[in-house]
Amino acid sequence: MTDLHSDTIAPEAPEAPATDSPEAPAPDTLVHGLYREGEPIVDTKAPRGPIAERWNTRKFEAALVNPANRRKLTVIIVGTGLAGGAAAATLGEAGYNVKSFCYQDSPRRAHSIAAQGGINAAKNYKEDGDSTFRLFYDTVKGGDYRSRESNVYRLAEVSANIIDQCVAQGVPFAREYGGLLDNRSFGGVQVSRTFYARGQTGQQLLIGAYQALERQVAAGTVEMFARHEMLEVVIVDGKARGIIARDLVTGEIETHLADAVVLASGGYGNVFFLSTNAMGSNVTATWRAHRKGAHFANPCYTQIHPTCIPVAGEHQSKLTLMSESLRNDGRIWVPKNAADCEKDPRQIPEEDRDYYLERIYPSFGNLVPRDIASRQAKNVCDEGRGVGPKVGDFRRGVYLDFTDALKRMSAEAVAEKYGNLLDMYQRITGENPYEVPMRIYPAVHYTMGGLWVDYDLQSTIPGLFVTGEANFSDHGANRLGASALMQGLADGYFVLPNTIRDYLAKGPFPKLEESHEAVVEARASVDARVQKLLSINGDRSVDSFHKELGNIMWEYCGMERSEEGLLKAIDLIRGLRDEFWRNVKVLGAADTLNQSLEKAGRVADFLELGELMCIDALHRRESCGGHFRAESQTEDGEALRHDDEYAYVAAWEWGGQDGAPTLHKEDLVYEFVEMKQRSYK
């Protein structure tokens, strides 16, 4: 467990500034032999004062950029999901010169498109007692008191503007017969504040942002680079000044320079190989920035979503989410007796069914937060009461039953609300959910962790901003349903455009030539890495490494984590990473479309991230939100937080190629919400 030097890695960019590459520390200063503690983070740049005033204060204090100067300022935005697309459109409208990047063939395909259930906003259209403060409160509580009050309040505050903006763009939200917007309650809250568009909310919101983006492309303010993958960030004099990207069609390695860089590259759930993320979702953009000095915060906070279609076999390439809105009307159960698990569920009488969520959590029932619903599903399956076919020698599935809803509401009403989800289920499993209860099992879905950012969404690298799922900022240790879309659009439309101007007002920064030493070096490191990957020519495919990494992560850094397991995982990951760089087989050439090469680069970064996730999980010896430590639970198996020791953000600084990472703690102070142990009983 002690050998920190076991990983052999491809030629790399030189380490970031001197402070980022400590000399190899003496082993005795390392905690667990793995990491060091550094200076705490004291200032997040959030204004002081009453929480409801802070965002206004910041907007007022942030410097303005004269409209005539905006054209001279270039902003690179990596990502065209809600967070990146909305920001690109908004900054383009404001007159900045924007360069927008995505790896798909069109910005409209960013993975935000796949979000199903809805988007929260504190509109209180239902007059059910909702308010900005309640959305703020619910989000802080839902995040298990591991998020920042100032950020979350701002999120709740701008949420209402998001809906206005989207409606103005023509987003066809669900409406009532009177023509007004419909709302539903969603994922662990007791008010109806979720706006939706059937089960395709993310798609509709993204199309709105995409169309606004294309309008700016036509207007000439945004230049679009689709089928481009960012592979490195360019840092000059300590500031982010551009990126190195590969044109995925021609293979050309390109340099793009700018006055500021925004990463809106989404989440890193694919470190688990199987997740609900898109095939191309990756950590590369943020990881490359991390290696250049951006702190990575709370990497171990991952959300395992309770309602996904179970794994069918070895060939599985990804997992499909069934929106948890299904939990509003569907009831979750398993047989009381393991002996019934093979039976046709329709033959199992009511008294032999265990509606375990309703039993354990009578007041929230099937609507408990995701982490709890997931862990309980795991528990009943671990007890041998799982249902569905065996994969390996285990049944991993629980029933999600619409029988009662079909009796109460009619099949038409169910189809109107959930039709596309139920159809999708049938398509994938070959079973008709109107007749047979569906089977679901938890799957990796969202990553709360991400690059550390201050209140302005700026990382520890000046000029490098991070928005959406790629940052860590708003969801603490657990995200409430329908709040990622809210955060993506809040960041993109309203927060970043107001905070980045404070930075840009200091520019334009000195003109950079592509021949600048730092630019040349960044580019050379990308070239070298591509060549290295193509030259290994070993025996194993990229996917085989990715799957093995995913298994390690799921087993030891998934729904339940323990010291013993995590230490083992770290060893295994190091061994695997070592083998990857000796034995991966990537065919094809550098100068054409080469999907194996793309995957290889992403997996290489996941192999480094996985280790940091395990270290983070290991150091946090408490259970909070999506992070459940076996060593920290109550007598009846519920998560046990330790606020006295762990009420902080863990921001990790890259330790250099062979060094150990350094932990910087940002204390979380609660002035407006009282910290309580969550209880949904």
Partner 1 sequence: MNLTLKIWRQAGPKATGEMVTYPVSGISEDMSFLEMLDVLNEQLNARGEEPIAFDSDCREGICGMCGLMISGKAHGPEVTTTCQLHMRSFSDGDEITIEPWRADAFPVIKDLVVDRSSFDRIIQAGGFISANTGSAPEAHSVPVPKPKADRSFMAAACIGCGACVAACPNASGMLFLGAKITHLGELPQGQPERDARVVNMLTQHDDEGFGGCTNIGECSSACPKEIPLDVINQLNKDLRHALAHGE
Ligand X SMILES: Cc1cc2nc3c(=O)[nH]c(=O)nc-3n(C[C@H](O)[C@H](O)[C@H](O)COP(=O)(O)OP(=O)(O)OC[C@H]3O[C@@H](n4cnc5c(N)ncnc54)[C@H](O)[C@@H]3O)c2cc1C
Q: In the complex with partner 1, which residue's Cβ is closer, 287 or 494?
A: 494
Distance (Å, rounded) from C-alpha 172 to C-alpha 207? 10
Interface residues for ligand X in 275-314 (CB under 6 A)? 276-277, 282, 284-285
Give the sheet arrangement for strand 296-297, strand by strand.
Answer: 36-37, 662-667, 648-653, 296-297, 450-451
Assess 221 for contact with ligand X (CB under 6 A).
no
User: Please, what is the minimum distance in Å from the beta carbon of residue 316 to partner 1?
Assistant: 7
Name the amino acid, one letter, at 461.
Answer: I
Phi–psi pair at 481, nearest 5 degrees: -55, 145
- Specify the DSSP class assigned to residue 470: G
Interface residues for ligand X in 542-561 (CB under 6 A)? none
Place of tokens 């001279």: 72
585 binds, among partner 1, ligand X, none (CB under 5 to 8 A by kind): partner 1
Interface residues for ligand X in 618-637 (CB under 6 A)? none
User: Please, what is the minimum distance in Å from the beta carbon of residue 600 to ligand X?
Assistant: 13
* SS3 label, residue 681: coil
Give the sheet arrangement for strand 398-401, strand by strand.
Answer: 302-308, 438-447, 398-401, 331-335, 353-354
Helix (H) or strand (E) holding 37: strand 36-37
620 binds, among partner 1, ligand X, none (CB under 5 to 8 A by kind): none
Assess 82 for contact with ligand X (CB under 6 A).
yes
Interface residues for ligand X in 309-368 (CB under 6 A)? 321
For residue 177, give every residue at least 6 positions away whose Cβ sits within 8 Å of its Cβ, in sequence order, or none. Answer: none
Distance (Å, rounded) from C-alpha 552 to C-alpha 177? 51
Assess 84 for contact with ligand X (CB under 6 A).
yes
102 binds, among partner 1, ligand X, none (CB under 5 to 8 A by kind): ligand X
Binders of ligand X: how many residues, by CB under 6 A? 46
Q: In the complex with ligand X, which residue's Cβ is closer, 124 or 483?
A: 483
Q: Which of 331, 370, 385, 577 is catalytic?
A: 370
Q: In the complex with ligand X, which residue's Cβ is closer, 451 or 549?
A: 451
Neighbours of 544 (CB within 10 A): 15
173 binds, among partner 1, ligand X, none (CB under 5 to 8 A by kind): partner 1
Assess 663 for contact with ligand X (CB under 6 A).
no
Out of 272, 287, 301, 446, point to the residue binding ligand X (CB under 6 A): 446
User: Please, what is the minimum distance in Å from the beta carbon of residue 99 to ligand X?
Assistant: 11
Characterize the bridge pairing of strands 353-354 and 331-335: antiparallel
User: Please, what is the minimum distance in Å from the beta carbon of residue 428 to partner 1?
Assistant: 7
Q: In the complex with partner 1, which residue's Cβ is closer, 181 or 518?
A: 181
Residue-by-residue DSSP string for 591-632:
TS--HHHHHHHHHHHHHHHHHHHHHHHHH--S-BTTB-BTTS
Out of 13, 15, 20, 79, point to the residue binding ligand X (CB under 6 A): 79
User: Please, what is the minimum distance in Å from the beta carbon of residue 484 to partner 1?
Assistant: 16
Assess 152 for contact with ligand X (CB under 6 A).
no
- Specify the DSSP class assigned to residue 32: T
Work out the burial of residue 316: count CB atoms within 10 Å of its CB; fewer than 13 is exposed, 13-18 middle, 19 or more buried: middle
Assess 242 for contact with ligand X (CB under 6 A).
no
Distance (Å, rounded) from C-alpha 285 to C-alpha 451? 10
Q: In the complex with ligand X, which residue's Cβ is closer, 90 or 282?
A: 282
User: Please, what is the minimum distance in Å from the beta carbon of residue 287 to partner 1?
Assistant: 20
249 binds, among partner 1, ligand X, none (CB under 5 to 8 A by kind): partner 1
Return the closest-CA partner of residue 545 out of 585, 489, 491, 490. Answer: 585
Out of 13, 119, 368, 660, point to the residue binding ligand X (CB under 6 A): 119
User: Please, what is the minimum distance in Å from the beta carbon of residue 346 to partner 1?
Assistant: 22
Out of 74, 112, 165, 203, point to the residue binding ligand X (CB under 6 A): 112
Characterize the bridge pairing of strands 253-257 and 239-247: antiparallel
* SS3 label, residue 424: helix
User: Please, what is the minimum distance in Å from the beta carbon of residue 419 to partner 1?
Assistant: 12
Out of 300, 451, 484, 615, point to the residue binding ligand X (CB under 6 A): 484
Interface residues for ligand X in 187-216 (CB under 6 A)? 201-202
654 binds, among ligand X, partner 1, none (CB under 5 to 8 A by kind): none
Return the closest-CA partner of residue 320 out of 329, 311, 328. Answer: 311
Q: In the complex with ligand X, which residue's Cβ is closer, 280 or 661?
A: 280
Q: In the complex with ligand X, which residue's Cβ is closer, 92 or 266?
A: 266
Out of 102, 140, 368, 569, point to the residue binding ligand X (CB under 6 A): 102
Residue environment code for 115-146, b if the CB has 16+ CB neighbours within 10 A, otherwise e = bbbbbbbbbbbeeeebebbbbbbbbbbbbbbb
User: Please, what is the minimum distance in Å from the beta carbon of residue 9 to partner 1?
Assistant: 23
Place of tokens 């030259």: 535
Distance (Å, rounded) from C-alpha 368 to C-alpha 678? 11
Q: How many residues does the chain have?
A: 681
User: Please, what is the minimum distance in Å from the beta carbon of residue 530 to partner 1?
Assistant: 16
Return the closest-CA partner of residue 457 out of 161, 41, 45, 29. Answer: 45
Q: According to the 3-state scheme, what is the secondary structure of 164-211?
A: HHHHHHCCCCCECCCCCECCECCCCCCCCCEECCCCCHHHHHHHHHHH
Out of 118, 345, 442, 463, point to the residue binding ligand X (CB under 6 A): 118
Neighbours of 502 (CB within 10 A): 18
> Is-catalytic flag, 439?
no
**CA dihedral of 415, 418, 424, 426, whole degrees rounded to 10:** -50
Assess 265 for contact with ligand X (CB under 6 A).
yes
Out of 90, 116, 185, 473, point to the residue binding ligand X (CB under 6 A): 116
108 binds, among ligand X, partner 1, none (CB under 5 to 8 A by kind): partner 1
Assess 483 for contact with ligand X (CB under 6 A).
yes
Q: In the complex with ligand X, which residue's Cβ is closer, 466 or 618?
A: 466
What x/- string results for residues 457 through 476 when contact with ligand X is judged by CB under 6 A?
-----------xxx------
Interface stretch with ligand X, choices 169-177, 480-488, 561-569, 634-642 (CB under 6 A): 480-488
User: Please, what is the minimum distance in Å from the beta carbon of residue 471 to ligand X?
Assistant: 8
Q: In the complex with ligand X, which residue's Cβ is closer, 84 or 208?
A: 84
Query: Does residue 22 have a cis peptide bond before it, meaning omega lies within 30 degrees of 0?
Result: no
Q: In the complex with partner 1, which residue's Cβ is closer, 176 or 658?
A: 176
Instruction: Note whether 398 and 216 are within 8 A (CB).
Output: no
User: Please, what is the minimum distance in Å from the beta carbon of residue 360 to ligand X?
Assistant: 25
In terms of phi and psi (left: phi > 0; alpha: psi -120 to 50; beta: otherwise), the region of 60 is alpha
201 binds, among partner 1, ligand X, none (CB under 5 to 8 A by kind): ligand X
Q: Which residues bind ligand X (CB under 6 A)?
A: 78-84, 101-104, 110-112, 114-119, 201-202, 228-230, 264-267, 276-277, 282, 284-285, 321, 445-446, 468-470, 482-486, 488
Residues marked active site are found at 370
